[in-house]
A and B are shown apart, each in its own frame.
Chain A
Amino acid sequence: MHSEPQRLYRPLAAVPRLRWLRTALVFGIAGWSGFYVMAVELLSGRLMAPSFGSSIYVWGGIITVFMLALSLGYLLGGQLSLRAPSLRKLGLILAAAGLSTLPVLLFGDAMLDFLFERVSDPRYGTLLASTALFFVPTVISGMVSPYAIRLLVRQLSASGKSAGSLYFVSTFGSAAGTLMTSFYLVLWFEVNQIYAGLIATSLLLGALALPFDEVVDA
C-alpha cells in the first residue's frame, strides 16, 4: 500500500461535527446511484421503441445488458476500493457515471438509426444498442455500492451490518427511481430532459463529495 503524505491541516471530514455529513453523503450517493440506474434503464426502453419496438425481447435485451454491466461494475468497484479509498473518489465515480451518460443525449438517435439500418433482428439490435449506449455508465454505476461499503466499514464484526444498510439504501433508491420515472417524470418532462436532470444531479452530488479527500484506512 502506498502512504499518504503527512498533512499539515486537519481534513474537513475529520472534524467530528462533520462525521454525520460524511456518512450521509456516502448513503446519499449510493441511494442516488440506485435511483439513477433504474431511471436510465426505464428510459432506455423509450429510446429503443421507435427503432426496435417494445416487444418482450426488447426489454430482455435491455435488462441483460444492465445486469451484465452492473455485475462487472461490482467487481471493479471492489478492486478499486483496495487502493486509498476516499469519499472524494466515490464522488468522482458518481460524476463519471453521469458524464458517461452524456453520449446518450448527444448521439443516441444517430446510434439507433445506424443500428436499425444494419441489424434487422430487433433482438440483437436492442442488445447492441443498449451495449453501445448504456454499458459504460452502468459499469461505473455498479462500482458505487462496493466502494461505498468500504467507506462505511469500520470494524470486521460490523461489516455485514454496513453492507446491509448500504444495500437497503441503494435498492430503496432503485425503487424510488423506478416509481418516480414511470409514474411521474415521463408525464412532466421529455425523455432527454429527464436524462439531463439525472446527469446534472449526479454531477452535483459528486461535487459535494470533493472536499472529503481523507483516505479511509481503518
Chain B
Amino acid sequence: MLRTATASLLALLGLSAEARVLHTEKSLYRNITVLEENGERCMRFGRVASSRQTCLRLTQPDQLVFDYTRMMLGALYLQPQPRDILVVGLGGGTLPMTLRKLYPQARIDTVEIDPAVTRIASRFFGFQPDAAMTVAEEDGRVFVKRQLKQGRKYELVMLDAFDHDYIPEHLLTREFLLEVRGILAPRGVLAANTFSSSKLYQHESATYAAVFGDFYNLQTRSRVILLRQGGLPARGELEANAARLEKALPYYGVSQDWLLPLFKLSARDWPASTRVLTDQYAPSNLLNAM
C-alpha cells in the first residue's frame, strides 16, 4: 500500500520507481539533477518531469536520444563541412561532442552561463573540451556581441539556450538575431531549438522571419528552425548533402529517411499582425505561459 503510494507519487514527480539519482546540485541558476532510469542517464533542471535537458543511452552513448538534437544536426544538410562552429547553451554537451566526432578538425566554441552545467557535462556525460573546443562561461548574448565586434565568422551557429519553462528573453529578440546574422559566414547556417506550442510560437516565427526571411520549420513534438545566410538551398542540394552524410549520421541515430521529410518551408502560419520580439518588447516567458 505504502509502496504503491510512493510509486504513484514518484510517477507524479516524473520519476519511475527504479530511477537512481546520481547527483543533485543547486547551482546559481537552477536545481540540477542527474539520474538514471530505463537505461538512460539524464540531466534535469527544476522538478518538472518534462524538463529533461540531456539524456544519454548508457549502452549506445553516441545515439542521440531526443528528436530535437537530431533535427539540429539537420543543419549539416545545409552546410556539410562547417569549420567554425558556435554552440550557445551546453547542456550535457551532446551537440558539441557529436560535432567533434563528425569534424575532428573543426574549431568549436561553446558558451554556457552556468559553471555547474559544464562541470556536470564533463563528469556524467563524457563532455571533453580540447584545444579547439572550448567553453566560455558567460552569457550567450555577451559572447555573440563580442565576436561580432571582433569580426569573427562561423559557418554553423546552434542556439540551444532555452529550456522548457524558462527563456532568457534577451536571446529571442530581433536585435540578438541581427547580431547572430552578423557572425554568420556568407553561407553560414543557423539552427535554433525553439518552441512548438504556446503563444510564443507565432511571435518567435515572426521574429525569425523579420530577420532572416524564409526558414525551414522542422516539427515533431519539438521544433527546430534551420536557415542559411543568403537564402535556403534548392531541394536538390539538400538531398545531395543528405546522401553524402548518410555514411556518418546514422551512427548517431539520424537517418535521412526520418530527417529529410521534416524539412518544410515555414508556412507563415502566424497572423501577419504578430508583434516581432525586440529588446524593447520581449515578454517571452509571459507569452510562453499563454
Instruction: Give the B-binding residues of A (Cβ under 8 A).
Output: 46, 49-56, 116-117, 120, 122, 183, 186-187, 189-193
* Complex: A50 Cα to B170 Cα, angstroms: 6
Query: With contacts A51-B145, A56-B29 known, is A122 near B139, CB below 8 A?
Result: yes
B113–A53 touching, CB < 8 Å: yes
A-B contact count (CB 8 A): 59
Taking the closest CB of chain A, its distance from the CB of B159, in whole angstroms, is: 15
- A to B CB contacts below 8 Å, 20 in the list: A46-B282, A49-B141, A50-B141, A50-B145, A50-B170, A50-B173, A50-B175, A54-B139, A54-B168, A55-B113, A55-B139, A56-B29, A120-B146, A122-B139, A122-B142, A186-B283, A187-B283, A191-B280, A191-B281, A192-B280
Is B237 in contact with chain A by the CB < 8 A criterion? no
Nearest B residue to A109, CB-CB: B279
Is B37 in contact with chain A by the CB < 8 A criterion? no
Taking the closest CB of chain A, its distance from the CB of B204, in whole angstroms, is: 16
* Complex: A114 Cα to B170 Cα, angstroms: 19
Nearest B residue to A55, CB-CB: B139
* Complex: A18 Cα to B173 Cα, angstroms: 50
Q: Which of A49, A54, A120, A187 is the most central at the interface, judged by chain B CB atoms within 10 Å of its CB?
A: A49
Instruction: Give the A-binding residues of B (Cβ under 8 A).
Output: 28-29, 113, 138-142, 145-146, 149, 168-170, 173, 175-176, 278-283, 286-287
* Complex: A116 Cα to B142 Cα, angstroms: 9
Nearest B residue to A57, CB-CB: B28
Taking the closest CB of chain B, its distance from the CB of A14, in whole angstroms, is: 46
Taking the closest CB of chain A, its distance from the CB of B183, in whole angstroms, is: 15
Taking the closest CB of chain B, its distance from the CB of A48, in whole angstroms, is: 9
Chain B residues closer than 8 Å to A51, beta-carbon distance: 142, 145
* Complex: A54 Cα to B282 Cα, angstroms: 13
B142–A187 touching, CB < 8 Å: no
* Complex: A160 Cα to B65 Cα, angstroms: 65
Chain A residues closer than 8 Å to B168, beta-carbon distance: 54
